[in-house]
Amino acid sequence: MRLSELAQQLGGHVAEAHRHLEVVGVSTLEKGAKGDLTFLANASYRDGVMKTQATAVITSAAMLGDLRPPPELGLVMHEQPYLAWAKALNLLVPPTQPTPGVHDTAVIHPSAQIDSSASVGPYVVVGEGARIDEGVVLDVGVVVDSEAHIGAHAYLAPYCVVRSGCIVGARCQLEPHCVIGVRGFGYATDAQGQHHAVPQVGVAILEEEVEMGSHIAVDRGAVTETRLGRGTKMGNQSAIGHNAVTGNHCLMVGHNALAGSSSIGNHVILAGKAGVAGHIHVGDQTTVMAYSAVTRPIDGNQVIRGVPARDARDVALEQKALKQLPALLERIQTLEEKLMEEKP
Protein backbone atom coordinates (compact mmCIF):
# COMPACT_ATOMS: atom_id res chain seq x y z
CA MET A 1 0.00 0.00 0.00
CA ARG A 2 1.31 3.45 -0.92
CA LEU A 3 1.86 5.84 1.96
CA SER A 4 -0.40 8.38 0.28
CA GLU A 5 -3.32 5.92 0.42
CA LEU A 6 -2.43 4.78 3.93
CA ALA A 7 -2.27 8.33 5.27
CA GLN A 8 -5.63 9.13 3.72
CA GLN A 9 -7.30 6.10 5.32
CA LEU A 10 -5.73 6.85 8.70
CA GLY A 11 -6.54 10.54 8.64
CA GLY A 12 -2.85 11.41 8.80
CA HIS A 13 -0.34 13.32 6.71
CA VAL A 14 2.70 12.25 4.70
CA ALA A 15 5.28 14.52 3.04
CA GLU A 16 5.12 14.83 -0.74
CA ALA A 17 8.55 13.24 -1.10
CA HIS A 18 7.35 10.06 0.62
CA ARG A 19 3.88 9.63 -0.87
CA HIS A 20 5.11 7.09 -3.43
CA LEU A 21 6.71 4.75 -0.87
CA GLU A 22 5.01 1.37 -0.44
CA VAL A 23 4.61 -0.81 2.65
CA VAL A 24 3.62 -4.46 2.56
CA GLY A 25 4.16 -5.60 6.14
CA VAL A 26 4.48 -4.46 9.74
CA SER A 27 7.23 -4.68 12.32
CA THR A 28 8.88 -2.97 15.29
CA LEU A 29 11.40 -0.16 15.01
CA GLU A 30 14.18 -2.53 15.99
CA LYS A 31 13.34 -5.34 13.59
CA GLY A 32 11.86 -3.36 10.73
CA ALA A 33 13.10 -4.10 7.20
CA LYS A 34 12.50 -2.66 3.75
CA GLY A 35 8.78 -2.69 2.98
CA ASP A 36 7.76 -2.63 6.64
CA LEU A 37 5.61 -0.10 8.44
CA THR A 38 6.32 0.57 12.12
CA PHE A 39 5.36 3.18 14.70
CA LEU A 40 6.63 5.47 17.46
CA ALA A 41 4.12 6.23 20.21
CA ASN A 42 6.44 6.20 23.22
CA ALA A 43 9.25 8.72 23.54
CA SER A 44 11.43 6.09 25.24
CA TYR A 45 11.96 4.50 21.82
CA ARG A 46 12.83 7.68 19.89
CA ASP A 47 16.39 6.56 19.19
CA GLY A 48 14.99 3.61 17.26
CA VAL A 49 13.75 5.98 14.57
CA MET A 50 17.34 6.82 13.68
CA LYS A 51 18.36 3.15 13.39
CA THR A 52 15.32 1.43 11.90
CA GLN A 53 15.51 -0.19 8.47
CA ALA A 54 11.73 0.03 8.02
CA THR A 55 10.31 1.94 5.08
CA ALA A 56 7.94 4.11 7.08
CA VAL A 57 7.01 5.10 10.64
CA ILE A 58 3.68 6.28 12.03
CA THR A 59 4.36 8.95 14.64
CA SER A 60 3.55 12.51 15.70
CA ALA A 61 5.42 15.80 15.94
CA ALA A 62 5.22 15.59 19.73
CA MET A 63 6.91 12.18 19.69
CA LEU A 64 9.70 13.25 17.35
CA GLY A 65 10.46 16.50 19.17
CA ASP A 66 13.72 17.88 17.75
CA LEU A 67 14.71 14.52 16.23
CA ARG A 68 15.63 14.63 12.54
CA PRO A 69 15.00 11.16 11.03
CA PRO A 70 16.91 9.95 7.94
CA PRO A 71 15.54 11.67 4.81
CA GLU A 72 14.67 8.34 3.16
CA LEU A 73 12.41 7.27 6.05
CA GLY A 74 8.74 7.81 5.32
CA LEU A 75 6.85 9.56 8.10
CA VAL A 76 3.09 9.18 8.46
CA MET A 77 2.19 11.94 10.89
CA HIS A 78 -0.86 11.54 13.11
CA GLU A 79 -1.92 13.23 16.36
CA GLN A 80 -2.67 9.82 17.88
CA PRO A 81 0.00 7.49 16.47
CA TYR A 82 -0.96 4.43 18.51
CA LEU A 83 -4.57 4.67 17.39
CA ALA A 84 -3.38 5.12 13.80
CA TRP A 85 -1.16 2.06 14.21
CA ALA A 86 -4.17 -0.01 15.30
CA LYS A 87 -6.05 1.04 12.18
CA ALA A 88 -3.01 0.34 9.98
CA LEU A 89 -2.73 -3.20 11.34
CA ASN A 90 -6.30 -3.90 10.27
CA LEU A 91 -5.47 -2.63 6.78
CA LEU A 92 -2.16 -4.44 6.31
CA VAL A 93 -2.87 -7.61 8.33
CA PRO A 94 -6.63 -8.13 7.96
CA PRO A 95 -8.20 -10.78 10.21
CA THR A 96 -9.13 -14.13 8.70
CA GLN A 97 -12.78 -14.35 7.73
CA PRO A 98 -14.34 -17.66 8.86
CA THR A 99 -16.67 -19.61 6.60
CA PRO A 100 -20.37 -19.45 7.59
CA GLY A 101 -22.02 -22.71 8.53
CA VAL A 102 -22.30 -25.34 11.25
CA HIS A 103 -19.58 -27.97 11.65
CA ASP A 104 -20.67 -31.60 11.46
CA THR A 105 -19.53 -32.29 15.03
CA ALA A 106 -21.47 -29.40 16.58
CA VAL A 107 -24.44 -30.29 18.80
CA ILE A 108 -27.36 -27.92 18.20
CA HIS A 109 -30.70 -28.11 19.99
CA PRO A 110 -33.61 -28.11 17.51
CA SER A 111 -35.12 -24.99 19.10
CA ALA A 112 -31.90 -22.95 18.89
CA GLN A 113 -31.87 -20.08 16.38
CA ILE A 114 -28.65 -19.71 14.40
CA ASP A 115 -28.32 -17.08 11.69
CA SER A 116 -27.17 -18.49 8.35
CA SER A 117 -24.16 -16.13 8.31
CA ALA A 118 -22.81 -17.42 11.64
CA SER A 119 -19.83 -19.77 11.86
CA VAL A 120 -20.22 -22.63 14.35
CA GLY A 121 -17.00 -24.62 14.77
CA PRO A 122 -16.14 -28.18 15.75
CA TYR A 123 -17.63 -29.61 18.96
CA VAL A 124 -19.65 -26.49 19.72
CA VAL A 125 -22.78 -27.02 21.83
CA VAL A 126 -25.80 -24.70 21.49
CA GLY A 127 -28.61 -25.30 23.95
CA GLU A 128 -32.38 -25.11 23.94
CA GLY A 129 -33.80 -21.74 22.90
CA ALA A 130 -30.37 -20.14 22.47
CA ARG A 131 -30.00 -17.43 19.83
CA ILE A 132 -26.94 -16.84 17.66
CA ASP A 133 -27.13 -13.66 15.57
CA GLU A 134 -25.61 -12.75 12.21
CA GLY A 135 -21.87 -12.96 11.70
CA VAL A 136 -21.19 -14.62 15.06
CA VAL A 137 -18.14 -16.91 15.26
CA LEU A 138 -18.20 -19.75 17.79
CA ASP A 139 -14.76 -21.38 17.76
CA VAL A 140 -13.82 -24.91 18.80
CA GLY A 141 -15.60 -26.31 21.85
CA VAL A 142 -17.69 -23.25 22.72
CA VAL A 143 -20.79 -23.92 24.84
CA VAL A 144 -23.86 -21.66 24.63
CA ASP A 145 -26.42 -22.84 27.17
CA SER A 146 -30.20 -22.69 27.00
CA GLU A 147 -31.83 -19.31 26.34
CA ALA A 148 -28.46 -17.54 26.04
CA HIS A 149 -28.05 -14.89 23.36
CA ILE A 150 -24.93 -14.05 21.33
CA GLY A 151 -25.16 -10.69 19.53
CA ALA A 152 -24.20 -9.91 15.95
CA HIS A 153 -20.55 -10.30 14.91
CA ALA A 154 -19.40 -11.43 18.35
CA TYR A 155 -16.41 -13.77 18.50
CA LEU A 156 -16.04 -16.51 21.12
CA ALA A 157 -12.62 -18.19 21.10
CA PRO A 158 -12.12 -21.89 21.86
CA TYR A 159 -13.74 -23.30 24.99
CA CYS A 160 -15.66 -20.22 26.06
CA VAL A 161 -18.89 -20.91 27.94
CA VAL A 162 -22.02 -18.75 28.11
CA ARG A 163 -24.36 -20.12 30.75
CA SER A 164 -28.16 -20.23 30.56
CA GLY A 165 -30.00 -16.96 30.03
CA CYS A 166 -26.87 -14.84 29.75
CA ILE A 167 -26.19 -12.29 27.01
CA VAL A 168 -23.05 -11.49 25.04
CA GLY A 169 -23.61 -8.27 23.11
CA ALA A 170 -22.84 -7.41 19.51
CA ARG A 171 -19.18 -7.25 18.46
CA CYS A 172 -17.89 -8.63 21.75
CA GLN A 173 -14.58 -10.50 21.63
CA LEU A 174 -13.89 -13.28 24.15
CA GLU A 175 -10.54 -15.05 24.27
CA PRO A 176 -10.21 -18.74 25.26
CA HIS A 177 -11.76 -20.14 28.44
CA CYS A 178 -13.95 -17.19 29.39
CA VAL A 179 -17.05 -18.22 31.34
CA ILE A 180 -20.06 -15.89 31.40
CA GLY A 181 -22.70 -16.65 34.02
CA VAL A 182 -20.74 -18.65 36.60
CA ARG A 183 -22.75 -19.43 39.74
CA GLY A 184 -22.21 -16.50 42.08
CA PHE A 185 -20.41 -16.97 45.39
CA GLY A 186 -23.26 -16.88 47.89
CA TYR A 187 -23.54 -18.97 51.05
CA ALA A 188 -25.69 -18.85 54.18
CA THR A 189 -24.09 -20.18 57.36
CA ASP A 190 -26.24 -22.03 59.89
CA ALA A 191 -25.89 -22.23 63.68
CA GLN A 192 -23.55 -25.21 63.37
CA GLY A 193 -21.19 -23.27 61.11
CA GLN A 194 -22.09 -25.18 57.95
CA HIS A 195 -22.29 -23.24 54.69
CA HIS A 196 -25.33 -23.64 52.43
CA ALA A 197 -25.28 -22.46 48.82
CA VAL A 198 -27.76 -19.69 48.03
CA PRO A 199 -29.20 -20.30 44.53
CA GLN A 200 -28.02 -17.68 42.05
CA VAL A 201 -30.95 -17.06 39.73
CA GLY A 202 -29.90 -13.87 37.92
CA VAL A 203 -27.95 -13.47 34.69
CA ALA A 204 -24.74 -11.93 33.37
CA ILE A 205 -24.83 -9.38 30.55
CA LEU A 206 -21.99 -8.11 28.39
CA GLU A 207 -23.03 -4.99 26.52
CA GLU A 208 -21.78 -4.25 22.99
CA GLU A 209 -18.06 -4.27 22.16
CA VAL A 210 -16.81 -5.74 25.42
CA GLU A 211 -13.45 -7.47 24.93
CA MET A 212 -11.99 -10.07 27.28
CA GLY A 213 -8.63 -11.79 27.59
CA SER A 214 -8.42 -15.46 28.48
CA HIS A 215 -9.61 -17.17 31.68
CA ILE A 216 -12.11 -14.57 32.85
CA ALA A 217 -15.09 -15.52 35.01
CA VAL A 218 -18.21 -13.37 35.26
CA ASP A 219 -20.66 -14.50 37.94
CA ARG A 220 -24.38 -14.40 37.23
CA GLY A 221 -26.45 -12.10 39.41
CA ALA A 222 -27.83 -13.41 42.67
CA VAL A 223 -31.36 -12.34 41.69
CA THR A 224 -30.99 -9.66 39.02
CA GLU A 225 -27.90 -9.17 36.85
CA THR A 226 -24.17 -8.69 36.63
CA ARG A 227 -23.41 -6.18 33.86
CA LEU A 228 -20.31 -5.04 31.98
CA GLY A 229 -20.80 -1.72 30.21
CA ARG A 230 -20.33 -1.05 26.53
CA GLY A 231 -16.77 -0.94 25.24
CA THR A 232 -15.19 -2.27 28.43
CA LYS A 233 -11.89 -4.10 27.88
CA MET A 234 -10.44 -6.70 30.25
CA GLY A 235 -7.05 -8.40 30.47
CA ASN A 236 -6.40 -12.03 31.36
CA GLN A 237 -7.46 -13.86 34.51
CA SER A 238 -9.93 -11.46 36.05
CA ALA A 239 -13.03 -12.18 38.15
CA ILE A 240 -16.35 -10.32 38.30
CA GLY A 241 -18.55 -11.11 41.30
CA HIS A 242 -22.32 -11.44 41.30
CA ASN A 243 -24.27 -8.20 40.78
CA ALA A 244 -21.10 -6.23 40.02
CA VAL A 245 -21.54 -3.47 37.43
CA THR A 246 -19.08 -1.57 35.28
CA GLY A 247 -19.75 1.63 33.39
CA ASN A 248 -18.94 2.13 29.73
CA HIS A 249 -15.44 2.01 28.25
CA CYS A 250 -13.63 0.83 31.37
CA LEU A 251 -10.17 -0.75 31.23
CA MET A 252 -9.28 -3.67 33.49
CA VAL A 253 -5.70 -4.46 32.63
CA GLY A 254 -5.48 -7.97 34.06
CA HIS A 255 -5.68 -10.06 37.27
CA ASN A 256 -8.42 -7.73 38.49
CA ALA A 257 -11.36 -8.48 40.75
CA LEU A 258 -14.70 -6.79 41.34
CA ALA A 259 -16.31 -8.30 44.43
CA GLY A 260 -20.04 -8.92 44.63
CA SER A 261 -22.29 -5.85 44.25
CA SER A 262 -19.34 -3.53 43.63
CA SER A 263 -19.56 -1.01 40.82
CA ILE A 264 -17.28 1.24 38.81
CA GLY A 265 -18.31 4.23 36.71
CA ASN A 266 -17.55 5.15 33.12
CA HIS A 267 -13.95 5.24 31.85
CA VAL A 268 -12.51 3.78 35.06
CA ILE A 269 -9.06 2.14 34.78
CA LEU A 270 -8.02 -0.74 37.02
CA ALA A 271 -4.30 -1.39 36.55
CA GLY A 272 -2.82 -4.87 37.03
CA LYS A 273 -4.00 -6.77 40.13
CA ALA A 274 -6.15 -3.89 41.36
CA GLY A 275 -9.40 -4.91 43.04
CA VAL A 276 -12.60 -3.43 44.45
CA ALA A 277 -14.25 -4.73 47.63
CA GLY A 278 -17.92 -5.66 47.78
CA HIS A 279 -20.68 -3.03 47.82
CA ILE A 280 -18.17 -0.28 46.95
CA HIS A 281 -18.58 2.29 44.13
CA VAL A 282 -15.69 3.87 42.23
CA GLY A 283 -16.63 7.08 40.39
CA ASP A 284 -16.18 7.97 36.72
CA GLN A 285 -12.73 8.65 35.25
CA THR A 286 -10.86 7.21 38.23
CA THR A 287 -7.58 5.33 37.81
CA VAL A 288 -6.75 2.62 40.36
CA MET A 289 -3.02 1.90 40.18
CA ALA A 290 -1.47 -1.57 40.18
CA TYR A 291 -1.78 -3.84 43.24
CA SER A 292 -4.27 -1.48 44.90
CA ALA A 293 -7.30 -2.53 46.97
CA VAL A 294 -10.33 -0.24 47.02
CA THR A 295 -12.11 -0.67 50.36
CA ARG A 296 -14.22 2.49 50.57
CA PRO A 297 -16.34 4.51 48.10
CA ILE A 298 -14.25 6.69 45.77
CA ASP A 299 -15.43 9.87 44.03
CA GLY A 300 -14.69 10.35 40.35
CA ASN A 301 -11.69 11.88 38.58
CA GLN A 302 -9.04 10.58 40.96
CA VAL A 303 -5.81 8.61 40.79
CA ILE A 304 -5.60 6.24 43.75
CA ARG A 305 -3.13 3.61 44.90
CA GLY A 306 -2.15 1.44 47.81
CA VAL A 307 -3.77 -0.87 50.36
CA PRO A 308 -6.21 0.54 51.22
CA ALA A 309 -6.33 2.68 48.07
CA ARG A 310 -6.20 6.44 48.58
CA ASP A 311 -5.00 9.55 46.77
CA ALA A 312 -1.79 8.64 44.96
CA ARG A 313 -0.18 11.95 45.94
CA ASP A 314 -0.76 11.24 49.63
CA VAL A 315 0.76 7.78 49.24
CA ALA A 316 3.83 9.29 47.58
CA LEU A 317 4.27 11.73 50.48
CA GLU A 318 3.88 8.90 53.00
CA GLN A 319 6.49 6.81 51.23
CA LYS A 320 8.87 9.75 51.13
CA ALA A 321 8.37 10.24 54.87
CA LEU A 322 8.99 6.54 55.54
CA LYS A 323 12.36 6.78 53.83
CA GLN A 324 13.30 9.52 56.27
CA LEU A 325 12.37 7.48 59.37
CA PRO A 326 15.79 5.84 59.94
CA ALA A 327 17.53 9.23 59.93
CA LEU A 328 14.85 10.70 62.19
CA LEU A 329 15.16 7.82 64.65
CA GLU A 330 18.91 8.30 64.70
CA ARG A 331 18.47 12.00 65.43
CA ILE A 332 16.01 11.24 68.23
CA GLN A 333 18.39 8.72 69.74
CA THR A 334 21.22 11.26 69.62
CA LEU A 335 19.05 13.89 71.29
CA GLU A 336 18.01 11.44 74.00
CA GLU A 337 21.64 10.60 74.71
CA LYS A 338 22.53 14.29 74.99
CA LEU A 339 19.64 14.86 77.36
CA MET A 340 20.77 11.97 79.52
CA GLU A 341 24.30 13.38 79.62
CA GLU A 342 23.00 16.80 80.64
CA LYS A 343 21.01 15.42 83.58
CA PRO A 344 22.53 16.45 86.97
Mean pLDDT of 146-155: 99
Sign of the CA dihedral 76, 82, 87, 93? positive
Determine the pLDDT at residue 166.
Answer: 99
Pairing label, strands 161-162, 143-144:
parallel
- Residue 147: pLDDT band with limits 50, 70, 90: very high
201-211 tens-digit pLDDT: 999 999 999 99
- The CATH architecture to which 103-311 belongs is 3 Solenoid (2.160)
- Residue 242: pLDDT band with limits 50, 70, 90: very high
For residue 184, is pLDDT > 80? yes
264-301 tens-digit pLDDT: 999 999 999 999 999 999 999 999 999 999 999 999 99
Fold assignment, 3-92: 3.40.1390
Give me the residue spans of the domains in the chain.
Answer: 3-92, 103-311
Catalytic: 177? no
2-57 tens-digit pLDDT: 999 999 999 999 999 999 999 999 999 999 999 999 999 999 999 999 999 999 99
Distances (CA, A) of 288 to 33, 77, 298, 314: 39, 32, 10, 14
Determine the pLDDT at residue 36.
Answer: 98
Name every residue whose Cβ is closer than 8 Å to that of residue 31 and which is 6 or more positions away in sequence: none
DSSP 3-state assignment of 244? coil
Distances (CA, A) of 165 to 131, 149, 203, 263, 268: 10, 7, 6, 22, 28
Nearest partner of 27 among 55, 2, 1, judged by Cα = 55
Strand order in the sheet with 131-132: 113-114, 131-132, 149-150, 167-168, 203-206, 225-228, 245-246, 263-264, 281-282
CATH topology identical between 3-92 and 103-311: no
Of all helices (H) and strands (E), which one includes residue 324? helix 312-342
Half-sphere exposure at residue 301, Cβ-oriented, CA atoms within 13 angstroms: 0
Distances (CA, A) of 2 to 20, 92, 95: 6, 11, 20
- Residue 173: pLDDT band with limits 50, 70, 90: very high
Pairing label, strands 125-126, 269-270:
unpaired
Rounded Cα–Cα distance for residues 298 and 281 (Å): 6
For residue 251, is pLDDT > 80? yes
**The one catalytic residue among 18, 153, 177, 242:** 242
Rounded Cα–Cα distance for residues 173 and 235 (Å): 12
Rounded Cα–Cα distance for residues 234 and 258 (Å): 12
